[in-house]
Amino acid sequence: MSSRENVLGRIRAALTDVPTTESPQDVPVPRDYRRSHAEGDLVDLFAERVADYRATVVRADVTQAAEVIGRTIAGRGLTRAVVPDGFPPQWLPAGDRTWLRDDPPLGVARLDAVGAVLTTAALGIAVTGTIVLDAGPGQGRRALTLLPDYHLCVVRAEQIVGDVPEALARLDPARPLTFVSGPSATSDIELDRVEGVHGPRTLDVLILTETS
């Protein structure tokens, strides 16, 4: 007997108290919990909660994107960054800067050395201050937002949802997903929180709003 049959057989033998007529759907799951715990303006809440993790939040009108991005990375002393395909070119600041494309794919050593990446996001979650990446346009594969030490992530205001249930309902589970809530952190040494272990040590989040 294969282990598969063995394990399944043991599970079935263990469940003799479950009537054979019962199906999984017959076991009730009360979903009385809220779809969202967000109150007030979603963008304000998102900005506040992201800042809670000591990530830097910048808000700007979409027409100012290039200017604000230029100022932000200049403030970090950066002159080059990886920019995944699909990142809106009109958001890239002009001037003497190097934008690296991931085509052909950059090696890990190169990514490690580059030091910065600019991406968009799939969505933002206001209550938890989370940005979600799904490798869609402007986000690139997962390694791009992992190895560089600096990540500037652009979230459009209309991409911000209230809470976790709303976010999951919008996401495609077939895509590789990364939920980012602040920079990486550890409390393993005498319970002192240290930010920046393996992921990018600096996370700037730019929220773009559209004034029509």
Partner 1 sequence: MSGTMDGRGVVFLGSPAFPDAARTALADTRLRTNLRRATTTIRDKRLQVTGELDDWEDLRAAGEAVKRRTLRHLDVHLLRLEESVTRAGGVVHWAADAAEANRIVTELVRATGGRDDETREVVKIKSMATQEIGLNEALAEAGIAAYETDLAELIVQLADDRPSHILVPAIHLGRAEIRDLFATEMARWGRPAPEGLTDDPAALAEAARLHLREKFLRAKVAVSGANFACADTGTVAVVESEGNGRMCLTLPETLITVMGIEKVLPSWRDLEVFLQLLPRSSTGERMNPYTSMWTGVTPGDGPRAFHLVLLDNGRSDTLADTVGRQALNCIRCSACLNVCPVYERTGGHAYGSVYPGPIGAVLTPQLVGVEHAASLPFASTLCGACYDACPVKINIPEVLTHLRAEVVEAKRAGRRLPSPEALAMKAATAVLVSPARLGYAQRAAALGGRALARRGRIGRLPGPFRGWSDSRDTPAPPTESFRTWWRKNREGEQG
Show contacts with partner 1 in window 90-129 (CB under 8 A). 105, 108-109, 112, 125, 127-129
Specify the length of the chain in residues: 212
Alpha helices (runs of H) in 53-163, residue ranges in sequence order: 65-75, 108-114
> Closest CB to partner 1 among 27 and 94?
27
Among 67, 76, 143, 202, binds partner 1 (CB under 8 A): 143
- Pick from 199, 204, 205, 208 the residue near partner 1 by CB under 8 A: 199
Shortest distance in whole angstroms from residue 212 CB to partner 1 = 32
Burial class (CB in 10 A: 0-12, 13-18, 19+), 202: middle
37 vs 97, beta carbon nearer partner 1:
37
Residues of this chain, 15-34, that bind partner 1 according to CB under 8 A: 15, 17-18, 22-24, 27-34
Q: Residue 149 burial (CB < 10 Å; 0-12/13-18/19+)?
A: middle
Of the two residues 30 and 77, which places its CB atom closer to partner 1 in the complex?
30
95, 191, 211, 212: residue in contact with partner 1 (rule CB under 8 A): 191
41 CB-side CA count, 13 A:
6
Cα separations (Å) of 60 from 119, 162, 209, 212? 16, 20, 6, 14
* Of the residues 38, 146, 154, 206, which one makes contact with partner 1 according to CB under 8 A: 146
Task: Report DSSP letters for 28-42, one per residue.
Answer: -----S-S----S-H
* CB nearer to partner 1: pick between 29 and 94: 29
CA distance 12 to 127: 41
Q: How far is the CB of 107 from partner 1 (least distance, A)?
A: 9
Cα–Cα dist 112/148, whole Å: 5
Q: Does 75 interact with partner 1 (rule: CB under 8 A)?
A: no
In whole angstroms, the minimum distance from the beta carbon of 106 to partner 1 comes to 12
Looking at 41, 63, 79, 197, which residue binds partner 1 (CB under 8 A)?
197
Residue type, 82: V
The amino acid sitting at 98 is T
Piece in contact with partner 1 (CB under 8 A), picked from 69-77, 79-87, 116-124, 163-171: 163-171
